[in-house]
Amino acid sequence: MRQKPFQQDRRFDFANDHQVRLLQGAEELFPALIEAMDAALSDIQFETYIFDFTGSGADVAEALMRAAQRGVRTQLVVDGVGTGTLSPAWAQRLAAAGVQYRVYSPLGPLGLLLPRRWRRLHRKLCVVDGRMLFCGGINVLDDFHDPNHGALDAPRFDFAVMATGSLVTTASDTMDQLWWRMQAVRDVRQRRLPEALQALRAASAAKHAARGGNAGPSMRAALVLRDNVRNRSRIEKAYRRAIGGARNEIIIANAYFMPGGKLRRALVMAARRGVRVRLLLQGRYEYFMQYHAARPVYGALLQAGVEIYEYAPSFLHAKVAVIDAFGDKPWATVGSSNLDPLSLLLAREANVVVEDAAFATDLHQRLVQAMQHAGHRMDPARYAGRPLRQRVLDRIAFALMRLALWVTGNRY
């Protein structure tokens, strides 16, 4: 039985008052981000998994500091694993400029040996003056630089959006809550209980005085969040409902692709009912677990007729999808969530979902171009006959991933 289209699900806070612009790579995102921060009047809220100060990443840091120096309230939250410890020079510069800086879940002496430390802040959000939102999969990281692999010959393949409308308020309030809860935890640890109580009250009361409006044609969009409290499975459900309602075409580009059983079955069922399903996935070795644990799930997808393309010119970090771009109910999403257990079960993630023909067509064209000119289509026979050593490594990685999920108490 075909699932109801995602558009009919009112549990997602869709509104028709948005403008959403697609941005590809840091080359398009960072100039727009810096321009918005240079024009900020009251406040900047910023969350990112990685903040790297090499190359163009330093330009973003400079814009944050310029804003703070002219009196804009500037709050920056980075992840304790993705970013790690700041260099003393940058830490001093940010503090001197007045940038308020917090680290989400610092590792401590035992590092990632504690399973509770596997819950990371992976979303990439920036709200400027409560009026403009940037959301996507792009870290503050130069497109041609990788902290582990050095200089890259081609830019990372990734996307973000710049948006206005009511979803900005949702993002801003979400970031406020995290900021003040982190502040409350900090005060409790320092035995400053009155300050901790005040911070918790601020988490529920903090609002911006200025909320933005729109000019020009509006789009239907929503911000879909994933956390470990009320929104444990919203992003995965958004994907499954959209896939279940697909009529003609599904294109997904995802960096770390290891979907759970329900999501895999949704893709297989879509392909079997005649929907063209294309996946653009990581073709370049980056991390052992993510690279090898993904391969065992390809077999059933290929047998069902799903087309898999591997992107190799550079690292693919995109977390996007477009469904029925040329149909009467186009659906697209751009965000931070990979389709793997770390994103869908453990990390804080944020995706923007857009139901707009022009936006979906734009994303569709960019993904098709990448598949045609930079993707290598996987041959089912070649996949089935891959070397024994590779198959063993794939199974080891897959088993380790399942073991890690069992340790956290999750089923996938």
Write down the pTM of the prediction: 0.90
Query: Which distant-in-sequence residues (6+ apart) come within 8 Å of 189 by Cβ?
Result: none
Q: What is the pLDDT of residue 191?
A: 56
Query: In which band, very low, low, confident or very high, does the pLDDT at 215 lie, cut at 50, 70 and 90?
Result: low
pLDDT at 307 over 80: yes
pLDDT at 10 over 50: no
What pairing do the DSSP bridges indicate for beta strands 132-136 and 124-128?
antiparallel
Query: In which band, very low, low, confident or very high, does the pLDDT at 166 lie, cut at 50, 70 and 90?
Result: very high
Q: Helices 56-69 and 88-97, interaxial angle, to 10°? A: 30
Q: What is the pLDDT of residue 172?
A: 96
* pLDDT mean over 98-127: 90
- Residue, of 214 and 139, whose pLDDT is higher: 139
Query: In which band, very low, low, confident or very high, does the pLDDT at 406 lie, cut at 50, 70 and 90?
Result: confident
What DSSP designation does 198 have?
H
Q: What is the rounded CA–CA span in Å between residue 312 and residue 306? A: 19
Catalytic annotation, residues: 122, 124, 129, 317, 319, 324
Distances (CA, A) of 284 to 68, 196, 278: 39, 46, 18
Q: What is the pLDDT of residue 285?
A: 87
pLDDT at 4 over 50: no
pLDDT at 187 over 70: no
What domains sit in the chain, N to C, each tagged with a CATH number? Answer: 6-205 (3.30.870.10), 224-408 (3.30.870.10)
Q: What is the rounded CA–CA span in Å between residue 139 and residue 25? A: 10
* pLDDT mean over 107-125: 87
Q: What is the rounded CA–CA span in Å between residue 192 and residue 145? A: 41
Q: What is the rounded CA–CA span in Å between residue 391 and residue 259? A: 19
Q: What is the pLDDT of residue 186?
A: 67
Q: What is the rounded CA–CA span in Å between residue 29 and residue 23? A: 6
* pLDDT mean over 201-217: 49
Strands (DSSP E) along 167-323, which ranges? Answer: 219-226, 249-254, 276-282, 307-311, 319-323
> Worst-scoring range by mean pLDDT, 173-177, 206-210, 358-362, 376-380?
206-210
Residue with tokens 């960096």: 255
* Cβ-based neighbour number of residue 217 at 10 Å: 8
Query: In which band, very low, low, confident or very high, does the pLDDT at 107 lie, cut at 50, 70 and 90?
Result: confident
* pLDDT mean over 188-216: 51
Mean pLDDT, the chain, whole residue set: 90
Q: What is the pLDDT of residue 6?
A: 40
* pLDDT mean over 374-382: 94
Q: What is the pLDDT of residue 281?
A: 97
Q: What is the pLDDT of residue 2?
A: 41
* pLDDT mean over 325-341: 96
* pLDDT mean over 37-41: 97
pLDDT at 247 over 80: yes
Region of residue 290 (left: phi > 0; alpha: psi -120 to 50; beta: else): alpha
Centroid of chain to Cα 18: 20
pLDDT at 395 over 80: yes
